[in-house]
Structure 1
């Protein structure tokens, strides 16, 4: 049962990545993010209302579980998703989803740091494989070559102030090797890892995935309204926005909250790490979908596929071990 729920969540998350890429080309990210998270609250609220009525308007309250659901809203619904949306717009769906599946790795690291779980040699080797895969996906050979040539030319024409030029050379090398959006994707992955831990803790204390999805989405929406100044002009921006972009972000909101509920429900039946690994194996679906539906706009090649498979291989080794 748990595996089926996680696979269902994987399908919905993967489809959402493609829709978000198309939507980001039609509508500003801040407006789209607010539409998406508003639909999260609305759709989860409707499902919860139906569930509550079906159960005879009765439900036991768990304070600790409720608090953990709120924290998951901070880490996943607000920080994680905003960074993820931005990375999709900058990196493209295939590469952004590859970085997102590294969040089980960060879950292991966080557990090691704060829960004092031990890491063995196989796990350390698998972490190296994951990092190698992420580097392969983000590496830009052509730009790296141009950066090296520019650095060499600068060195030949410069006779003084070597420390300053050394710093500039290092900066050029890193900017040439790493694509814009990589750090956003990694920070989003860490935020999602924290969200997975808090969601799993909440589900084990209070098995209410629909309510958990609603509370997390509501927390994320409130944080967006309070902390993002663009929400003040949201209604006027919405009236002037591209209609198709609005509908795409609305569909994205329905897909993501349904997938989140399925992910949390799976955590009740199978280990958190296994549920997270399955739902975050998105490149297996996103790469072929992106290639055929988006006509390979982001230039998917053998290097992208090999890097993605290395990430999946490393994470699988960690979880199965």
Structure 2
């Protein structure tokens, strides 16, 4: 079981890293909001179908369902929206690397609200993450200057990481209450879609009708990869101890940085410094998770 779970964790990381490349190419032609809508439109039916087949939907606790729905709004609407925006402003490699600090926020929030202790591994991992983020700062600033954007946009992936952590703590509380993980994924994605679809359609109805097909094609490919990745995530988490699963999930930036260097060319500035910093952040995230 653990071997399968390890494989699924690494597959999730690879799929998410690959999806970030298609996302970045699509963002050359369409808005981040359209990527968010496309990703949820693809993922929600997949999880709903799996939930109907594998779980007793009618027996779900309404309170836990509401809690997961809240985590969907925080994680899959707000956090993912900021993450997609950060792919556009700093590139997928650096965006995923900065978002990878989320285990640090999870550790802090868990200590504050769930009473979990801050261990030596968490403290050490925090220091390593800070070192990695410092290593990314030069290339990140250069990326921002190259696109004539305010340095404040660098807060976008950090904000995404914080919101991801909030969603994780909420979702963890629901899963601890006994809700099925696949059903949780279905509720999460569906609640997020119900929030995003009316907003995007209402705000950009005309633009949706004339969306560049190149952007839509890239978004669709990215969304399918992400949906498959999250299926691997939930199934793998069921089969694998969290202490083994989450460190492997944090390898996403390594895939993203490597693929960015290979396939994005001038769309993202990727130096040896960025690649090394991504590895350092992954190591720090692993230490925090193990803590």
Which residue matches 2:111?
112
Q: How big is the shift at 1:235? A: 4.3
- Bigger CA radius of gyration: 1
Match status 1:318 vs 2:288: yes
For residues 140 and 290 of structure 1, do their structure 2 counterparts lie closer, same or farther at Cα, with a shift above 3 Å needed? Answer: closer
Match status 1:37 vs 2:40: yes
Which residue matches 1:169?
none
Give the Cα separation in 1 of the matches to 2:26 and 2:282.
27
Match status 1:21 vs 2:21: no
Give the Cα separation in 1 of the matches to 2:191 and 2:25.
27
Which residue matches 1:78?
77
Give the Cα separation in 2 of the matches to 1:87 and 1:189.
11
Match of 1:247 among 200, 207, 217: 217
Give the Cα separation in 1 of the matches to 2:33 and 2:286.
34
SS in 2 for 1:300: coil
Which residue matches 1:281?
251
SS in 2 for 1:80: helix
Match status 1:231 vs 2:201: yes
With the length of structure 1 as denominator, give the TM-score of the two structures: 0.78
Q: How big is the shift at 1:283? A: 1.6
Match status 1:192 vs 2:195: no
Q: How big is the shift at 1:289? A: 0.8
Give the Cα separation in 2 of the matches to 1:105 and 1:31.
30
Match of 1:259 among 229, 235, 253: 229
Give the Cα separation in 2 of the matches to 1:24 and 1:249.
8
Which residue matches 2:194?
222
Give the Cα separation in 2 of the matches to 1:274 and 1:310.
19
Match status 1:212 vs 2:170: no
Give the Cα separation in 2 of the matches to 1:35 and 1:235.
14
Q: How big is the shift at 1:117? A: 2.2
Which residue matches 1:127?
126
Which residue matches 1:290?
260
Give the Cα separation in 1 of the matches to 2:87 and 2:220.
17
Match status 1:87 vs 2:90: no
Give the Cα separation in 1 of the matches to 2:212 and 2:29.
6
How big is the alpha-carbon RMSD for the aligned residues of Structure 1 and Structure 2? 2.7
Question: 2:135, 2:274 within 8 Å by CA — same for their partners in 1?
Answer: yes
Question: 1:69, 1:198 within 8 Å by CA — same for their partners in 2?
Answer: yes
Which residue matches 1:7?
10
Over residues 126-156 of structure 1, what are the superposed CA-to-partner deviations in whole Å (9 max), with x where a residue is unaligned?
A: 212201211210235986xx9xxxxxxxxxx
Runs (5+) with no aligned partner, structure 2: none
Give the Cα separation in 2 of the matches to 1:203 and 1:77.
17
For residues 243 and 193 of structure 1, do their structure 2 counterparts lie closer, same or farther at Cα, with a shift above 3 Å needed? Answer: same
With the length of structure 2 as denominator, give the TM-score of the two structures: 0.85
Over residues 183-237 of structure 1, what are the superposed CA-to-partner deviations in whole Å (9 max), with x where a residue is unaligned?
A: 11011011112222333333344453332222111111222245x4x42154432
For residues 65 and 265 of structure 1, do their structure 2 counterparts lie closer, same or farther at Cα, with a shift above 3 Å needed? Answer: farther
